[in-house]
Structure formats: structure tokens, C-alpha cells
């Protein structure tokens, strides 16, 4: 049995004191690969370092919508260079966060568009962050022809119609630990209708810790609780769910052809 955590943030300070143990614990829980996302300039090198010192860790680099306002003339050239690294398997996370609005909205929109272009140039799939901006996210994915790079809508929180449009554009839908929460009935209804072939599971660790550990720090080993819940919703065995989401992740991150 093999699982993949399609999205975590291993460089974050929450893992500073026990990162090696966290990565080992993931291994022991069947998590074969962890895709670790460096979301801003200060995190990129560290993310790459972690990926290079652990065969089970790959890197994703980009500028998060929270940090859109920090992009300057040097940002894209630096990213272009770093993304040549063989351990980098996707570009992101990029997108829109109209919940926290840590960068002005018009700037988020502009940087999202630009970074889809950059990902295409680099030949990488994109990892999309969308919080409270479903309509605008869809509009940009369409107008920027994001089907040319494809990728993942991470921490998916839209409705089935949105999922369907994204899937038709060649995107995968990644489900976080919040699917285990009592109040996530809406998301569970959506997941019921998403084909298995388009689903991924993620932790977004250290955030969004699934039950039964809600409230504590999240870590990649816990992706199994999310996979278990999704299996339950899809009425398939845990083994089947682990197998399919692993296949899907290997395909989108191009660790396997076909
Ligand atoms: Zn995100
Ligand atoms: Zn994230």
C-alpha cells in the first residue's frame, strides 16, 4: 500500500525541530512521496534543500497569492533558474485568496495570470490555490489557457460544476483533511460526484489537520485519514483509494508516463 501527500509545506517553522522524524513517520505510514511547496522567496532554497536530502520529497515552487505584492523584477528570473532543478515537479502554489486578502486583489489577479504564463514556459503543471475566488479563478484558468499546462486545484472548496470545468481542462482535484470535519458535508457531496481518476489527497501540513487529530499540527503521515474518508465517500476500499490517488499524483507530477 502506497500513498502520496500531494501538497505539504515541510520548510515551515512548525517542522523545524523534528523534520527528520516527520518524514520517517510518513514513510512508515505508507507515504512514499511528499510534494513540498515553497510559497515565497525566503522558502524556495530551503524547499529544494529538503527535497535534495530526501529521496521521498519533491519540490513545488512559486509565489502564493498572499505574497503577490512582494513580486519584483528579480522574482521571475530567480524562479526560472530554480525551477530547472530536477526535483521541481510543478509550479505553485499560485492563484487567488479573497478570504485573507493579504495582497491587493488586482495584484493577485495580475500575478496569477503572469505565473500561469511562466509555468507554461517552464513546461510545468500548476498548483492552484483558490479561496473565496471560484469565479475569478475559473475565468483566469480559461482566459490564460491553463489547459496547456494542466495541474492541480489544491484544497478544493468549489462546487461540482467548478470541479467539472477544471477536470475538463485537464486538472486534478486535491482533497485536504478538512473533508473529515463534521461541517464538511458540502465538500463530501461534491467528492461523491468527482471521478476517482481525477482525485488526489493532500495534507497542506502543517495546516488543516484531519480528524482524529484536528487542532494539532498536521503532518504528511496523516494523509491516510483523508484517503480513508474519501474512500468511504466513494464507497471503495482504502487500498483502492491509495492506489488510484497514487497513480493520479504520479501522472500529474510526471513521475510516470501514461
Ligand atoms: Zn493553498
Ligand atoms: Zn499550501
* d(CA 208, ligand 2 centre) in Å: 10
Instruction: Give the distance (Å) from ligand 1 centre to CA of residue 92.
Output: 9
Ligand nearest to the CA of 9: 2
93 alpha carbon – ligand 2 mean position (Å): 7
Q: How confident is the model at residue 79 (pLDDT cuts 50, 70, 90)?
A: very high
Whether the predicted pLDDT of 257 surpasses 90: no
Angle value at C-alpha 251, between 170 and 185, nearest 5 degrees = 65
Which ligand has its closest atom nearest to the C-alpha of 90?
Answer: 2
Using alpha carbons, list the distances in angstroms from residue 86 to 58, 60, 246, 255. Answer: 9, 11, 20, 11
Give the tens place of pLDDT for each residue, 153-192: 999 999 999 999 999 999 999 999 999 999 999 999 999 9
d(CA 208, CA 241): 20
pLDDT at 147 over 70: yes
How many A from CA of 204 to the centre of ligand 2?
5
Q: What percent of the chain has pLDDT over 90?
A: 98
* pTM for this model (two decimals): 0.98
CA of 205 relative to ligand 2 center, distance in Å = 8
Mean pLDDT of 23-29: 98
> What is the pLDDT at residue 135?
98
Check pLDDT > 70 for residue 258: no
Q: Is the pLDDT of residue 136 over 60?
A: yes
92 bridge partner residues: 127
Ligand nearest to the backbone CA of 100: 1
pLDDT value at 30 more than 90: yes
Cα of 43 from ligand 1 centre, angstroms: 15
Amino acid at each position: 500500500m502506497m500513498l502520496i501527500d500531494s501538497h505539504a509545506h515541510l520548510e515551515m517553522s512548525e517542522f523545524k525541530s523534528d523534520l527528520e522524524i516527520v518524514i520517517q513517520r510518513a514513510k512508515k505510514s505508507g507515504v512514499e512521496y511528499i510534494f513540498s511547496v515553497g510559497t515565497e522567496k525566503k522558502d524556495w532554497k530551503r524547499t529544494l534543500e529538503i527535497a535534495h536530502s530526501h529521496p521521498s520529497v519533491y519540490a513545488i515552487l512559486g509565489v502564493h497569492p498572499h505574497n503577490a505584492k512582494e513580486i519584483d523584477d528579480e522574482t521571475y528570473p530567480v524562479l526560472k533558474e530554480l525551477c530547472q532543478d530536477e526535483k521541481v515537479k510543478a509550479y505553485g502554489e499560485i492563484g487567488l485568496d479573497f478570504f485573507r486578502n493579504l495582497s491587493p486583489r488586482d495584484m493577485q489577479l495580475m500575478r496569477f495570470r503572469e505565473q500561469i504564463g511562466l509555468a507554461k514556459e517552464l513546461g510545468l503543471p500548476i498548483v492552484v490555490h483558490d479561496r473565496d475566488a471560484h469565479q475569478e479563478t475559473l475565468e483566469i484558468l480559461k482566459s490564460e489557457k491553463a489547459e496547456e499546462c494542466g495541474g492541480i486545484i489544491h484544497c478544493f472548496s468549489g462546487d461540482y460544476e467548478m470541479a467539472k470545468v477544471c477536470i475538463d481542462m485537464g486538472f486534478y482535484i486535491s482533497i485536504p483533511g478538512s473533508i473529515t470535519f463534521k461541517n464538511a458535508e458540502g465538500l463530501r457531496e461534491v467528492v461523491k460526484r468527482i471521478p476517482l481518476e481525477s482525485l488526489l489527497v493532500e495534507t497542506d501540513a502543517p495546516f488543516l489537520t484531519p480528524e482524529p487529530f484536528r487542532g494539532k499540527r498536521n503532518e504528511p503521515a496523516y494523509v491516510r485519514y483523508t484517503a480513508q474518508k474519501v474512500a468511504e465517500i466513494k464507497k471503495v476500499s482504502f487500498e483502492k483509494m491509495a492506489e488510484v490517488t497514487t497513480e493520479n499524483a504520479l501522472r500529474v507530477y510526471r513521475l510516470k508516463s501514461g
